[in-house]
Structure 1
Amino acid sequence: MLKAENISKSFVDRSNGKNFELLHNVSLELKPGEAVALMGGSGSGKSTLARILLRLLPCDTGKIYFQGQDITNATGKDLSSFRRNVQFISQRPESFLDPRQTLGSSLQEAFTVFNLPYDEEKIKEMLDLVKLNAELLQRYPHQVSGGEIQRICLVRALLLEPKLLVLDEPTSMLDISVQAQILHLLRDIRKEKQLAYLFITHDKQLAEWLCDRVLHIEQGKLK
């Protein structure tokens, strides 16, 4: 479903002005409904690779395919379709919510961005799925907990009926008890919606618990 071939990415080291290769000829493939963990330490290149796969950052060399279509340089409708089908869940979900908007307005925006008709019933269905009360939609981000914000971001992603979720350490900023709740929720959602996951983590035990396969990235190379 999602395939990357020979992805490389370099940055300029500000300390000496030289190029530093963060990713070197990385190739991977996710099948429909498969959960794959991308595991590595700080500076390994795992989050940079995720941003490239999401088309949030250009690669220097290589190709990205989604459902057989080359989307490496896709624009317009092709890029919009890709972004609807591949949703991102961050370790800092609050950064994806406008603090001036209620949570309900943020969910409505998901429909607006992709020119989709507003669907109140679908919102209720997704709120039930993530075990949130609809009363929260009247609140602002600063009025709810980190776990509730992460659930709202999950709802917003699921409203678009994606085929793949890219999850970049989605529980690392939460309390331990809340982490467990979100992780069990992610496992349940995957089963119910038959979603594929690319799960970015540094936690081997967690990767093996949630995912079908674990890929290790070290110094910009898959091991």
Structure 2
Amino acid sequence: MLKAENISKSFIDRSSGKSFRLLQDVSLEIAPGEAVALMGGSGSGKSTLARLLLRLLPCDTGKIYFRGTDITKLSGKELAGFRHAVQFISQRPESFLDPRKKLGYSLREALEVFSLPYAEEQALEMLDLVKLNAKLLERYPHQVSGGEIQRICLVRALLLEPELLILDEPTSMLDISVQAQILHLLKDIRAQKQIAYLFISHDRLISEWLCDRVVRIEQGLIRS
């Protein structure tokens, strides 16, 4: 479904002014319904790879395919279908919400971006799936916990009925008990919705528990 082929990416070191290559000839493929864990230490390039796959950053070389179509050079409206089908869950979900707006607005906003109608029944179903009370939608982001914010962002993504979730260390900023709750939710959601995952983590035990297979990125290279 989503395939990266020989992706490379370089950056400029601000302190020295020299270029350094963070990713080198990286290839990765995620099949429909498959959960793949991408592991690596800090600075290994795993989050950068996620942003390249999401087309939030351009790659220097290589190609990215979605459903067999080369999307490497597409932009704007040409990427609308891709952006609808592939959703991103960050380790800092609060950055996706307007602090001046109630949480209910943030759910509706996600659908409005794609000119989709807001169905209250579907929203309530998704809230129930992630074990949130609908009254939460009347609150502002600063009035709820980090775990609740992450669940709201899951609902926001799920309302678009994605085929793939790219999850960049989605529980790393949460305490241990809330981490466990979110991870079990992710496992249940995948079983119920048959969504593919790219789960970015530094924890092998969690990765093996949640995903079908684990790949490792080291010094900008993929290790199986």
Same fold per TM (> 0.5)? yes
> Is 1:220 aligned with 2:220?
yes
Matched with 1:115 is: 115
1:60 maps to a residue whose letter is D
> Is 1:88 aligned with 2:88?
yes
- In the TM superposition, residue 76 of structure 1 has moved relative to its aligned partner by 3.3
CA distance in 1, matches of 2:80, 2:59: 19
Structure-to-structure mapping, 1:131-210, within 5 angstroms: 131-210=131-210
Deviations 1:60-118 (A, max 9, x none): 00100001111111123330110110000000000110000100000010111001112
Deviations 1:94-146 (A, max 9, x none): 01100001000000101110011121111011001101000000000000000
TM-score by length of 1: 0.99
- In the TM superposition, residue 161 of structure 1 has moved relative to its aligned partner by 0.3
Task: Give the direction of change, closer, same or farther, for the CA distance of 1:97–1:221 in structure 2 (3 Å limit).
Answer: same
Q: Which runs of 5+ in 2 are unaligned?
A: none
RMSD between aligned alpha carbons? Answer: 0.7
Deviations 1:4-33 (A, max 9, x none): 000000001122211100000000100000
Percent sequence identity is 78
Matched with 1:64 is: 64
- In the TM superposition, residue 222 of structure 1 has moved relative to its aligned partner by 0.4
Q: Which runs of 5+ in 1 are unaligned?
A: none
1:97 maps to a residue whose letter is L
**Deviation >4 Å, runs of 4+:** none
CA distance in 2, matches of 1:117, 1:15: 48
How many residues are treated as equivalent by the alignment? 223
CA distance in 2, matches of 1:97, 1:28: 30
1:19 maps to a residue whose letter is S
2:77 maps to a residue whose letter is K
Which stretch of the first structure deviates more once superposed, 34-43 or 76-85? 76-85
> Is 1:50 aligned with 2:67?
no
TM-score by length of 2: 0.98
Which stretch of the first structure deviates more once superposed, 10-19 or 188-197? 10-19
